Each structure stands twice: as structure tokens, then as C-alpha cells.
């Protein structure tokens, strides 16, 4: 139900609903049709330029800072670095790292960085396969080993289909006595931490894959409409709806 609701209030579905409404009203109620059409264009402008998408995403991403070496130097074992699942393909023509989505690869890179900072820690990949034959956890684990992580320091949880299941599965398999570091996309981190705490865990947040970054002066074309801004808006809406859903008691 949550996925269905979030799908219909994403930027492009809202645009098409407004545009379709304008077309339906055009025959008999031209004034209302023009209003609906105007709103559809205004909405498309809002979600395709960076102002609102950046604001919403930044609010999510600013809630947790990137882990520093000093922040984890006193962690007590066992230490588990849990990389939450993201997209992949099981195209056998590709190497494991090329099978991973951009977000999955970014999460794994951060997980590897942290795992190497903590001698003796374990990297845990997570996520089911969806429509693919191989699980996301398997592809992530293979990539980690390909990038130099000791196979004995890699474990998997291949069954979880969403973040809540990742939290409950981790607690069932690994317990709650060690130190858990959760690695996921920065925009997804607030919802992830909320769900892990809901299961009784107290993880350390390790955000990755930031969509809004500070830096040098933005080029002039940065402020123009683009599909990338729509993607950021989709990510933000998905996360806010997810947070609201779980806080209202949904599972």
C-alpha cells in the first residue's frame, strides 16, 4: 500500500494527472482546463529545477554526518558494517561492480572504507533479488571481495525485501550485543535509523551517496530544469512518505 501511494504522488505521475485533467476538462470547461494545464506546467517547473528538490533532499541528508576515523576508533566488537540493499542487475556479461546500481556501489564503497578503518570488523551485505535471480546481497558481497575485502570478513543476509526486514533480519541473525554501523544513502538514512531503533537496535549512521553536495560555484546551467532534479524530488518524496507511513504504524 505504501509503495502504491508513493508511486502516485511522485513528480511525474502528478504532472500527468494534472495534464490529463486539463484534457478531460477541455471539451466543456475550458477555463478550468486552462487552470489545470497551467498548474501542470508550474508543477513540472518546480520539480525539474533544483530549488525545492535540493531543499527537501538536503533536510534529509544533513541529519547525519559522514563517519570519521575518530568517531569509530573506540568501537567495541564484534563490529558489523551493514550495507543496506539497493538496485542491481544479474547481467552475466558484466563484472559484479558493473552489475550494481550507482547507489549500491556508493553504499558499498563507504562500507569498505569503514570496514578497513576497523580491524576485525565484518562487512554484511543485504537485500533480496527482486526480479533478478541473484540477490543484491550476493552481488554486493562479490564486489566487495573483488575490491580486496577478505572473503572471511564478508557475510550476507539475502532475504530482506525492505529496510524494516533488513533491521529485523539482522537482529534475528546477529543479535544486539555488538556494534552495528548502518551504511545507506544519506537521504535514506533518517528512515533507516528510525526503523532500526524501532526493532530495538541502536546503530551508528554511516551516510553515503549524497545527492546534494557543497563545493565550488555552481555553473549557470545548474539552475535549469533537468531530469536529475526530478530524480532528487522522487527520492525526497519517497523518503518522507516512508517516514510518515511507519510513524503512523504502517509496516
pLDDT at site 72 = 83
Does a structural domain hold residue 34? yes
Shared domain for 189 and 85, answered yes or no, is yes
Residue 4: pLDDT band (50, 70, 90) is low
Shared domain for 186 and 105, answered yes or no, is yes
The mean of the pLDDT values for the chain is 90
pLDDT at site 5 = 59
Shared domain for 233 and 129, answered yes or no, is no
Closest CA to 85 of 74, 100, 63, 96: 100
Predicted confidence (pLDDT) per residue in 69-118, tens digit:
888 877 877 999 999 999 999 888 999 999 999 999 999 999 999 999 99
Whole-angstrom CA distances from 246 to 16, 83, 127 are 28, 21, 20
Note the pTM of the prediction, 2 decimals: 0.88
Rounded to an integer, the average pLDDT of 21-27 is 80
Rounded to an integer, the average pLDDT of 21-45 is 85
Does a structural domain hold residue 218? no
Residue 28: pLDDT band (50, 70, 90) is confident
Shared domain for 149 and 129, answered yes or no, is yes
pLDDT at site 26 = 77
Torsion sign across C-alpha atoms 147, 172, 129, 87: negative
Residue 250: pLDDT band (50, 70, 90) is low
Does a structural domain hold residue 198? yes
Task: Supply angle C-alpha 66, 96, 68, rounded to 5.
Answer: 15
Predicted confidence (pLDDT) per residue in 148-180, tens digit:
999 999 999 999 999 999 999 999 999 988 899
Shared domain for 91 and 153, answered yes or no, is yes
Q: Cα separation of 137 and 159, whole Å?
A: 9
Whether 72 and 58 have beta carbons less than 8 Å apart is answered as no
Q: Residue 34 is placed in which grid cell?
A: 486552462
Torsion sign across C-alpha atoms 17, 18, 20, 25: positive
- The segment with the largest mean pLDDT, out of 29-38, 173-182, 186-195, is 186-195
Whether 200 and 169 have beta carbons less than 8 Å apart is answered as no
Beta strand extents in 57-158 (DSSP E only): 79-83, 122-126, 154-157
Rounded to an integer, the average pLDDT of 124-151 is 95
Does a structural domain hold residue 28? yes
Shared domain for 78 and 176, answered yes or no, is yes
Higher pLDDT, 105 or 2: 105
Predicted confidence (pLDDT) per residue in 192-230, tens digit:
999 999 999 999 999 999 999 887 678 888 888 899 999
Shared domain for 101 and 9, answered yes or no, is no
pLDDT at site 92 = 87
Does a structural domain hold residue 213? no
- Residue 113: give the domain boundaries: 70-208
Task: Supply angle C-alpha 160, 112, 101, rounded to 5.
Answer: 55
Into how many domains does the chain fold? 2
CATH number, domain at 192?
3.40.50.620
Shared domain for 85 and 201, answered yes or no, is yes
Q: Cα separation of 113 and 39, whole Å?
A: 46
pLDDT exceeds cutoff 80 at 3: no
Does a structural domain hold residue 221? no
In the chain, % of residues over pLDDT 70: 95
In the chain, % of residues over pLDDT 90: 65
Shared domain for 38 and 103, answered yes or no, is no
Amino acid at each position: 500500500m505504501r509503495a502504491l501511494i508513493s508511486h502516485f504522488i511522485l513528480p511525474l505521475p502528478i504532472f500527468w494527472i494534472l495534464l490529463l485533467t486539463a484534457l478531460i476538462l477541455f471539451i466543456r470547461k475550458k477555463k478550468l482546463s486552462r487552470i489545470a494545464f497551467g498548474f501542470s506546467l508550474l508543477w513540472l517547473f518546480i520539480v525539474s529545477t533544483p530549488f525545492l528538490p535540493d531543499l527537501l533532499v538536503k533536510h534529509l541528508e544533513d541529519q547525519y554526518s559522514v563517519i570519521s576515523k575518530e568517531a569509530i576508533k573506540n568501537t567495541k566488537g564484534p563490529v558489523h558494517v551493514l550495507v543496506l540493499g539497493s538496485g542491481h542487475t544479474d547481467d552475466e556479461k558484466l563484472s559484479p561492480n558493473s552489475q550494481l546500481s550507482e547507489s549500491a556501489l556508493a553504499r558499498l564503497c563507504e562500507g569498505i572504507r569503514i570496514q578497513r578503518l576497523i580491524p576485525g570488523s565484518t562487512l554484511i551485505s543485504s537485500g533480496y533479488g527482486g526480479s533478478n535471480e541473484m540477490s543484491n546481497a550476493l552481488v554486493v558481497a562479490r564486489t566487495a571481495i573483488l575490491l580486496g575485502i577478505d572473503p572471511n570478513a564478508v557475510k550476507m543476509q539475502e532475504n530482506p525485501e525492505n529496510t524494516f526486514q533488513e533491521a529485523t533480519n539482522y537482529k534475528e541473525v546477529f543479535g544486539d550485543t555488538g556494534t552495528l554501523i548502518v551504511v545507506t544513502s544519506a537521504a535514506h538514512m533518517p528512515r533507516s535509523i528510525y526503523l532500526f531503533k524501532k526493532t530495538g537496535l541502536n546503530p551508528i549512521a554511516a551516510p553515503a551517496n549524497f545527492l546534494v553536495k557543497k563545493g565550488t560555484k555552481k555553473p549557470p546551467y545548474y539552475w535549469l530544469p533537468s531530469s536529475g532534479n526530478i530524480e532528487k524530488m522522487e527520492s525526497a518524496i519517497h523518503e518522507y512518505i516512508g517516514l510518515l507511513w511507519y510513524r503512523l504504524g504502517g509496516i
